[in-house]
Structure 1
Amino acid sequence: MMETIRAAFVIARRDFTAIIFSKSFFFFLLGPLFPVLVAIAAGGLGKQVNQDIGRPDFGVAMSTEESRQLVAAHIGLSKSLGDFANLVQLPDENPADTDFASRLNDAADKPLTLIISGTLDNPRITGPPGDLNRWKGRIGLLVQMAQARPTPVDVELDIVTSTGGATKRDRLITAQGGQAILILLTMILAGMVLSNLVEEKTNKIIEILAAAIPMDAIFLGKLFAMLAMALVGITVWASLGFIAIWSLGGQLSNLPVPAVGWPLFGILMIFYFSMAYLLLGSLFLGIGAMATTVREVQTLSMPVTMGQLLVFFIAFSSITKLGEPIEWFATIFPFSSPFAMIARAAQMDNVWQHGLALLWQGMFTLIIIRFSVMLFRRNVMKSGNSGRKRSLLARFRR
């Protein structure tokens, strides 16, 4: 085991040094500019997620009759303005104490953005300042339609620091952003493992290495060398991004805080990118083991690329479905697990689940590497059953 690790380190150091000090590495650092432009142009893919995030839940803490009138007015208003919110019936309570919003949030099945209370004659909305300014106009119009008044209604505003709904939306935005970054980086960087292996197969370098070093060590070394190169590139891009944000006067403190906090979220981003890269890279190594030419690589990698897009769509669509079957599938399936788990890190504060997920992803990576090594030995080194049959046939002819 130690010999394999030492050999893998030698291969990793060789590949890493050759790539970092090459002239093409500079152009590699410029590569993300084009996918970023494509990602901005294709921003409509997150429309459904944005709708789930942007459609708030309003709690209604009024009498039964007034709540019925408000719901009827909401149905009528939605026909002209669109269904802009969900109305959730809550107990009719006195909002005199400061814990009014938190108690009604606990009584609701889901986090609420605002709470509409009081009466239709004297309506009151409770929520954070940003949400009050955004929705007070429509709520006033809603109360006006419920009363069939010809004149606007004055709505009393009760400002609180935050609500569960606002925190939920902020964390969903962070989950969406973290997942998009992981997907974009994986798409840019993972394919380089395949091109590196095919190039060395064409030059017969890989066969020379295989004669002196175990194939497991070669594959592990190549994977981690490419991962180290990718992390160097990410460090450069992140540094340039922070400099650009600082130069333009942006403030990172205004970003929505994930459930686990920014320091741990940043660490998990690195770990989950590494696991996503290793999983996809080990799969590409298996494809490279079966292919002998660049044309064969393109043919064999096409199903993997389509499957990769499907995995991304599953993980992306599960952001707003925390705890549902599709989200559990995205969490357990190894290739979508890193993306689904980073979304969980933004929305859930329990840390132990990430340790289990990283362990599961690491085990599956080793399984794929072992399978890729078997394919390489069978197709390149001519070992296995076919190799033994040819050897026996040659002996028989002698």
Structure 2
Amino acid sequence: MSAHDQAAIDASPRLSKLEAAWVIARRDFVAVLFSRAFLFFLIGPLFPVLVGGLAGSIGGQVSRQAVTIEVGLAMSAEDNAAIIGASDRLRPQLGGAIPALREVTEAQVDPNFDAQAFMEERRGNYAAIVTGSLAAPEVVGTEPHVNRWKGPVELMAADAMAASPLAFPSSRTTTVASSAASERTNRIRTAQAAQMVMFLLTMLLAGMVLSNLAEEKGNKVIEILAAAIPMDSVFMGKLFAMLGVSFVGIAVWGTLGWGFWAIAEDAIVTVTQTNFRELPGPAVGWGMFLFLGVLYFSMAYLLLGALFLTIGAMASTVREVQTMSMPVTMMQLMVFFLAAYTITQPGSALEMGAIAFPLSSPFAMLARAALEETLWIHIGALAWQVLWVGLLVKGGSLLFRKKVMKSGSAGTKKKRGWSFRRNSSEMEPAE
């Protein structure tokens, strides 16, 4: 650095709050982003996702290959044949309402066959057993299965006894692209999925704020920062630095997810039997919904992060910080449940309460963006959330400064004599 530049820096006034916050944000962002711990943090969530995907695929395959639950027939050979024929005739119209039927071998060789005792011995794979005759069939099984199969058994018996098989008229069908009911159902699903993704990302990434603060409290760096610049700037800088790091993490995970989808799209669609190319669209449109999703994720992250910083202000040890953060984590889980519950109650007092409560407001408003087209309300909600971020940061910084300055002695007073210079992230002794 030239003598002229050094003289210009020395002649510059001290940093403002915004400039100090930018210095802290830049410092924390670079320090975290290029650390080995962040690399392992990025890799860490990929293993549960991979294991979960494999487990889901294997579980689905096992479920599809499981033995079909059957209804046993323990009537006479003629009645069994008649009711099986009736099931074949009715299945094209009624589909899954007609059970898979199989004759119980034990009933054919034992004239004193007891269906109730047979079921209580849990032999075979029968959900229920039909005994008696076509005129008076008896369904033996547990109450849920009896209630499920009683009607179809009676229908098959009636068809089997009829002089001529039941004749079903041939109906015409006309399909439409969507309806009001299907559109609302799809939007509710979109709202639920968006809330879940935002909640998981917030809880996964917000912990970095707490760990960063706990680390700097342990090595006394935070006390030097508190003595050098306004604590509001320290808190705000840390929050936005961790938010920036979170977006980097989301971008990396999103890129990997997109690459995996591009490679295995056909296989995924085949396995899930869902057309992912026609995702249910939100009311405000996908472009605006994604934009609002970024804003509401930022607000949710900043609100929870500011709360974590406030906890750090009240705690005196790293263990105490971790202990005090657990109730906040549980509270955030309850807040998420509240916002998810209000999806089906738009305009109710409960939804208004979820929108007004700062921690649940981003989740409730993201759901509203999926369900309603109105945009102006999001401006007010975002302004309300920004206000609460400022209040939490201010409250946390006041608590932290009080704790730090109160716990310090002569050594702390010396640290007050340090200050940041404009256009520099270094500290110099104050005159």
- How far is the alpha carbon of 1:150 from its aligned partner? 4.3
Matched residue pairs, number? 289
Q: Specify the code of the residue in structure 2 equivalent to 1:219.
A: F
- 1:226-245 equivalent positions in 2, closer than 5 A: 226-245=242-261
- Between stretches 358-367 and 297-306, larger displacement belongs to 297-306
Q: Matched residues in 2 for 1:270 and 1:243: separation?
A: 21
* Cα distance change of structure 1 residues 328 and 205 upon mapping to structure 2, 3 Å threshold: same
- How far is the alpha carbon of 1:361 from its aligned partner? 0.4
- How far is the alpha carbon of 1:353 from its aligned partner? 1.1
Q: Specify the code of the residue in structure 2 equivalent to 1:201.
A: K
Secondary structure in 2 matching 1:249: helix
Q: Matched residues in 2 for 1:334 and 1:18: separation?
A: 30
1:208 aligns with one of 224, 232, 247: 224
Superposed CA offset, 1:135-163 (max 9, x none)? xxx9xx9xxxxxxx944343332222221
1:377 paired residue number? 401
Matched, 1:294 2:294: no
* Cα distance change of structure 1 residues 322 and 284 upon mapping to structure 2, 3 Å threshold: same
Matched, 1:13 2:26: yes
Give the TM-score normalised by the residue count of structure 1.
0.66
1:3 paired residue number? 16
1:33 paired residue number? 46
2:89 paired residue number? none
2:139 paired residue number? none
Task: Give the fraction of aligned pairs with identical amino acids, expressed as a percent.
Answer: 54
- Between stretches 302-311 and 362-371, larger displacement belongs to 302-311
- How far is the alpha carbon of 1:252 from its aligned partner? 5.7
Matched, 1:282 2:306: yes
- How far is the alpha carbon of 1:245 from its aligned partner? 1.3
Matched, 1:350 2:363: no
Q: Specify the code of the residue in structure 1 equivalent to 2:406.
A: K
1:324 aligns with one of 335, 338, 348: 348
Give the TM-score normalised by the residue count of structure 2.
0.62
- How far is the alpha carbon of 1:294 from its aligned partner? 2.0
Contact 1:4 1:217 in 2 (8 A): yes
Gaps of 5+ in 2: 1-13, 57-93, 99-151, 156-164, 267-274, 414-431
Q: Specify the code of the residue in structure 1 equivalent to 2:303.
A: L
Contact 1:193 1:284 in 2 (8 A): yes
Contact 1:193 1:226 in 2 (8 A): yes
* Cα distance change of structure 1 residues 37 and 374 upon mapping to structure 2, 3 Å threshold: farther
* Cα distance change of structure 1 residues 292 and 35 upon mapping to structure 2, 3 Å threshold: farther
Q: Specify the code of the residue in structure 1 equivalent to 2:388.
A: F
1:304 paired residue number? 328
The RMSD of aligned alpha carbons is 3.2
* Cα distance change of structure 1 residues 3 and 379 upon mapping to structure 2, 3 Å threshold: same
1:91 paired residue number? none
Contact 1:260 1:346 in 2 (8 A): yes
1:255 aligns with one of 279, 292, 296: 279
Q: Specify the code of the residue in structure 1 equivalent to 2:182.
A: A
1:222 aligns with one of 232, 238, 246: 238
Secondary structure in 1 matching 2:227: helix
* Cα distance change of structure 1 residues 259 and 38 upon mapping to structure 2, 3 Å threshold: farther
Contact 2:226 2:401 in 1 (8 A): no
* Cα distance change of structure 1 residues 183 and 35 upon mapping to structure 2, 3 Å threshold: farther
- How far is the alpha carbon of 1:260 from its aligned partner? 0.9
* Cα distance change of structure 1 residues 155 and 245 upon mapping to structure 2, 3 Å threshold: same
1:396 paired residue number? none
2:339 paired residue number? 315
- How far is the alpha carbon of 1:360 from its aligned partner? 0.5
Secondary structure in 2 matching 1:334: coil
- How far is the alpha carbon of 1:37 from its aligned partner? 7.0
- 1:125-140 equivalent positions in 2, closer than 5 A: none
Matched, 1:160 2:173: no
- How far is the alpha carbon of 1:355 from its aligned partner? 1.0
Secondary structure in 1 matching 2:16: helix
Q: Specify the code of the residue in structure 1 equivalent to 2:404.
A: V
Q: Specify the code of the residue in structure 1 equivalent to 2:398.
A: M
Secondary structure in 2 matching 1:287: helix
Superposed CA offset, 1:34-92 (max 9, x none)? 56479889x9xxxxxxxxxxxxxxxxxxxxxxxxxxxxxxxxx9xx99xxxxxxxxxxx
* Cα distance change of structure 1 residues 39 and 271 upon mapping to structure 2, 3 Å threshold: farther
Contact 1:198 1:294 in 2 (8 A): yes
Q: Specify the code of the residue in structure 1 equivalent to 2:170.
A: D
Larger C-alpha radius of gyration, 1 or 2? 2
Contact 2:218 2:318 in 1 (8 A): no
- 1:45-124 equivalent positions in 2, closer than 5 A: none
Matched, 1:194 2:210: yes
Q: Matched residues in 2 for 1:340 and 1:179: separation?
A: 8
Contact 2:339 2:363 in 1 (8 A): yes
Q: Matched residues in 1 for 2:22 and 2:28: separation?
A: 10
Contact 1:12 1:222 in 2 (8 A): yes
Contact 1:198 1:292 in 2 (8 A): no
Q: Matched residues in 1 for 2:51 and 2:207: separation?
A: 18
Moved over 4 A (4+): 34-41
Gaps of 5+ in 1: 44-76, 82-137, 142-148, 392-398
Matched, 1:269 2:269: no
Q: Matched residues in 2 for 1:354 and 1:38: separation?
A: 38
Superposed CA offset, 1:312-342 (max 9, x none)? 1111222222222222222221101111111
Q: Matched residues in 1 for 2:51 and 2:18: separation?
A: 40
Q: Matched residues in 2 for 1:228 and 1:287: separation?
A: 21
* Cα distance change of structure 1 residues 31 and 325 upon mapping to structure 2, 3 Å threshold: farther
Q: Matched residues in 2 for 1:245 and 1:169: separation?
A: 25
